[in-house]
Structure 1
Amino acid sequence: MGRRGFTTRQVHERGRAGASSPRATPIYLTAGFSFDEYGDAASHFGAGEGYAYTRIGNPTIDAVEGALAALEGGSQALLLASGQAATSVALLSLAAAGDHIVVSNHIYEGSRGLILDNLSRFGIEADFVDDIGDPAAWEAAIRPETKALFAESISNATNRILDIAAVSAVGRRHGIPLVVDNTFATPYLLRPIEHGADVVVHSASKFLSGQGTVIGGAIVDSGRFDAARSGAKFPHLVAPGRGGTASLVERTGGDARIAYARESVAPRLGPTPSPLNAFFIGQGIETLSLRVDRQSANALAVATWLATHPAVASVDYAGLPSHPDHALASELLPDGYGSVFTFTVAGDAGDARRVVEALDVFTHMTHLGDVRSLVLHPASTSHTHLTEAERLALGVFPGTLRLSIGIEDVDDLIDDLGRALAAGAASVAPAVARAEVSA
């Protein structure tokens, strides 16, 4: 064979990487994978062996999925492009047109919008439970066509704590899985599957990656799908495949739910994570407990200090005895109460704005779970599309601020808040404002 042209050589002339054992997870930053033999292509598309295309599978992504499944105590994990993708894929793997889901009213507003504005267009209806601590309220909302219960382990924004065992027991009586968004708690502080949850979702952009650099999401399944109890509710998991092939239950047993998400929903809708993002999430996971330990301890100290400040009307942190869910939080979260919570400035939105603008160590941005401490005004940002009555029902007042506590020296955080609160409350009589908020 003659010498090939320059352009051909610049594309093809490179040696194959030899066998090696890198300590860090390698980044397989490639759209696709070549087949060594002709039959390998058929084996992949027939039996799913090996790798062909990163939208379907990638070694870097697989490594992070394995770590997440192990940390959450699940059977398998599925890494996706964002936390919103994880919630979408999890719910669309369970519900279809004509179906129904029951949802905690205390959830992330992006999830609320997904359920009310998008899933409704697919013919999926939802009812919201206000009293999430009452299993009877969950049970009363269930219909024959209900396919999922959905809630957050620690809620946004007022730190409501889900009694996972009680709500999952309701679901089991009806053959319905409980899906828990565990972003705020992380698997270090709480593992919902151990308390009876069936599916866990995460925004991996937050604590799992930890540095505020990448976007990602994850689904972790318990692997406990019971075809005998729930098969009639989920025919897509128990019916034969196209052409009479084996059903998902026959092929994967208790992993049928996540197998459907992996094989059908995620690759077809396409929220595939970048292998580079997966790498950074994997790196973040390696220090998760160290960061969350520090963040939780800092948060408890900051919340305790805020609760005694004359310019603060209230603090919604489950680690404080004053929180309505403190006893449950102490039971479920023995290693820390998390680091995201809200407090309400005594005054109005203008006073809250002055506090935010006076902060120096805290960063004003819409994010959480970062090593840096962050602040946001929910009423004018994340909760702005709700009515005033809806915001008040969720504990979001004009003066409410959400904090995500980082790993800084806690004295610096308290000093920063002290200076900012002095600036924000300069024109307010604290006793009068506190009475107004309480009313």
Structure 2
Amino acid sequence: MSEPKPQGFDTLQIHAGATPDPATGARQVPIYQTTAYVFRDAEHAAALFNLQEVGYIYSRLTNPTVAALAERICALEGGAGAVCCSSGHAAQIMALFPLMGPGRNIVASTRLYGGTVTQFSQTIKRFGWSCTFVDFEDHDALRAAIDDDTRAIFCESIANPGGYITDLDAISAIADEAGLPLIVDNTSASPYLCNPIKHGATLVVHSTTKYLTGNGTVTGGCIVDSGKFDWSASGKFPSLSEPEPAYHGLTFHEALGPMAFTFHSIAVGLRDLGMTMNPQGAHYTLMGIETLSLRMQKHVENAQKVAAWLEAHPAVEKVTYAGLPSSPYAERAKRICPRGAGALFTVALKGGYDACVKLVDSLELFSHVANLGDARSLIIHSASTTHRQLSPEQQEAAGAVPNVVRLSIGIEDADDIIADLEQALAKAAG
């Protein structure tokens, strides 16, 4: 008998992880607003707690609505397993948690969201972890930054704020040489535009708050495991390759194989860190994902048109959109993000900081918010907000200097987006 044909993206974004509710026949995934689940008997409860049987215990660990979302994102990313959590920042910590220990480090791209730079340069120090930031265009510098204590390499597929496209094929090859997992934040691309696992990523993290939900209603995060990394090969990942005392000496990788990271993230990560996604939030994101491909097509179409218009505007010094032929990453974008370079980019104004402030204050259709990936067009001045805590050198490396604004292009009529920018730029120049 032949293997069934894999389902397409548009089908998976609607059906993956969802079947009619067996109790009621409900077609949409129900919101299981419950903290706990009744065990069949004492033996059933013991089997669940010993990880001998898969099921629901307590909603800090697993919940049917949240599980449906994890399965759907996993299917879209082409992973082996996934875990949802409370935010994108929570996803980053949970991705690192099984890999790290005191004295260990990660190597990360300089082109990252400002909050991630702060999390990696400041907050993780409290765990005894550290981070070395490297320009991932300099492959020799990346190799040189890796040492015996390095446990992961981290980057964004489409970097926030500038829309820079990371050469995932080259970076994953370096990670493989070093025997290290590559963690890719795929928030700005979404799985519709980029599949990091196909380019060698070990783990993919998301802020589901952004394009996956798509309507600015709830926060959330997700970690998808490729299931392809050998956690036992080097002895560097004892949480996964050595007996776990809390589970009577269970060795996650030996017992669970490709699902080791996923089960550890639930049974230990969510159990002890408690970064749980709520079921109503998961429900909003499930509904958002149903139209992901349609929205991303419109986001990209609008971004392409708006970026080209801005590039020709006399008040504009530079546009960083990788979908423009003038971008140094245009060819890379076609390889890494074949369906389009996303809808996030920066615009540098000739009038400097003052012109940026005036532009932000003069826009009417755009919303001035600290978010991206909404159906609405959004703008922010990164240097004074999302990247404010960074040093001038870090701001420059991230592409968030004072004369730059970040645009997240929505799915409105492109001509209306341009008209709003046109009137605001006229005021900014004046």
Q: Same fold (TM over 0.5)?
A: yes
One-letter code aligned to 1:236: S
Does 2:90 align with 1:85?
yes
Q: Among all aligned residue pairs of Structure 1 and Structure 2, give the percentage whose two residues are the same amino acid.
A: 44
| Shift, 1:212, TM fit | 0.2
Structure 1 residues 73 and 410: alpha-carbon distance in aligned structure 2, compared to 1, 3 A threshold:
same
Structure 1 residues 413 and 241: alpha-carbon distance in aligned structure 2, compared to 1, 3 A threshold:
same
Which of residues 116, 125, 133 is equivalent to 1:120? 125
| Aligned-partner SS, 1:79 | strand
| Aligned-partner SS, 2:233 | helix
C-alpha contact (below 8 Å) 1:27/1:60 kept by paired residues: yes
| Aligned-partner SS, 2:396 | helix
1:378-420 CA distance string (max 9 Å, x none): 1111111223343234332322111111110000000000000
Which of residues 220, 226, 231 is equivalent to 2:230? 226
C-alpha contact (below 8 Å) 2:185/2:205 kept by paired residues: yes
Q: What residue in structure 2 maps to residue 371 of structure 1?
A: 375
One-letter code aligned to 1:44: L
| Shift, 1:350, TM fit | 1.6
C-alpha contact (below 8 Å) 1:225/1:255 kept by paired residues: no
Q: What residue in structure 2 maps to residue 324 of structure 1?
A: 328
Does 2:233 align with 1:235?
no
Does 2:305 align with 1:301?
yes
Q: What residue in structure 1 maps to residue 80 of structure 2?
A: 75
Q: Distance in 1 between matches of 2:80 and 2:308?
A: 38
Q: Larger deviation: 199-208 or 380-389?
A: 380-389
| Aligned-partner SS, 2:125 | helix
Structure 1 residues 33 and 344: alpha-carbon distance in aligned structure 2, compared to 1, 3 A threshold:
same
Q: Larger deviation: 44-53 or 320-329?
A: 44-53
Does 2:57 align with 1:52?
yes
C-alpha contact (below 8 Å) 2:62/2:266 kept by paired residues: no
One-letter code aligned to 2:338: P
Q: Distance in 2 between matches of 1:228 and 1:40?
A: 31
Structure 1 residues 250 and 18: alpha-carbon distance in aligned structure 2, compared to 1, 3 A threshold:
closer
| Shift, 1:18, TM fit | 8.1
Does 2:130 align with 1:152?
no
One-letter code aligned to 1:185: A
Q: Distance in 1 between matches of 2:302 and 2:331?
A: 20
1:13-64 CA distance string (max 9 Å, x none): xxxx982322110110111112233332222212243212101111111111
Structure 1 residues 254 and 339: alpha-carbon distance in aligned structure 2, compared to 1, 3 A threshold:
same
C-alpha contact (below 8 Å) 1:179/1:199 kept by paired residues: yes
C-alpha contact (below 8 Å) 2:106/2:130 kept by paired residues: yes
- Aligned residue runs from structure 1 range 58-69, under 5 A: 58-69=63-74
Q: Distance in 1 between matches of 2:26 and 2:217?
A: 24
TM-score, normalisation: structure 2: 0.92
| Shift, 1:246, TM fit | 2.9
Larger RCO (alpha carbons 8 Å, 6+ apart): 2
One-letter code aligned to 2:328: P
Q: Distance in 2 between matches of 1:392 and 1:239?
A: 42
Q: Distance in 2 between matches of 1:66 and 1:97?
A: 32
Structure 1 residues 322 and 269: alpha-carbon distance in aligned structure 2, compared to 1, 3 A threshold:
same
Q: Distance in 2 between matches of 1:18 and 1:215?
A: 29
Q: What residue in structure 2 maps to residue 250 of structure 1?
A: 254
| Shift, 1:95, TM fit | 1.1
Q: What residue in structure 2 maps to residue 109 of structure 1?
A: 114
Does 2:282 align with 1:278?
yes
Q: What residue in structure 2 maps to residue 169 of structure 1?
A: 173
Q: What residue in structure 1 maps to residue 356 of structure 2?
A: 352
Q: Distance in 1 between matches of 2:220 and 2:53?
A: 24
| Shift, 1:236, TM fit | 1.8
Structure 1 residues 394 and 37: alpha-carbon distance in aligned structure 2, compared to 1, 3 A threshold:
closer
C-alpha contact (below 8 Å) 1:100/1:125 kept by paired residues: yes
Structure 1 residues 352 and 257: alpha-carbon distance in aligned structure 2, compared to 1, 3 A threshold:
same
Does 2:316 align with 1:312?
yes
| Aligned-partner SS, 2:183 | strand
1:247-266 CA distance string (max 9 Å, x none): 00121112222322221122
Q: What is the root-mean-square deviation in Å for CA atoms of aligned residues?
A: 1.5
Stretches of structure 1 lacking an aligned partner (at least 5 in a row): 1-16, 427-439
One-letter code aligned to 2:314: P
Between Structure 1 and Structure 2, how many residues are aligned? 408
Does 2:414 align with 1:394?
no
One-letter code aligned to 2:237: F
One-letter code aligned to 2:54: E
| Shift, 1:144, TM fit | 0.8
One-letter code aligned to 1:294: K
C-alpha contact (below 8 Å) 1:224/1:254 kept by paired residues: yes
| Shift, 1:292, TM fit | 0.6
Q: Distance in 2 between matches of 1:244 and 1:50?
A: 19
TM-score, normalisation: structure 1: 0.90
Q: What residue in structure 2 maps to residue 208 of structure 1?
A: 212
Q: What residue in structure 1 maps to residue 9 of structure 2?
A: none
Q: Distance in 2 between matches of 1:206 and 1:316?
A: 20
Which of residues 405, 409, 412 is equivalent to 1:405? 409
One-letter code aligned to 1:200: V
Which of residues 143, 161, 165 is equivalent to 2:147? 143
C-alpha contact (below 8 Å) 2:118/2:389 kept by paired residues: no
Q: Which structure has the larger Rg over C-alpha atoms?
A: 1
Q: What residue in structure 1 maps to residue 11 of structure 2?
A: none
Q: Distance in 1 between matches of 2:362 and 2:171?
A: 42
C-alpha contact (below 8 Å) 1:225/1:253 kept by paired residues: no
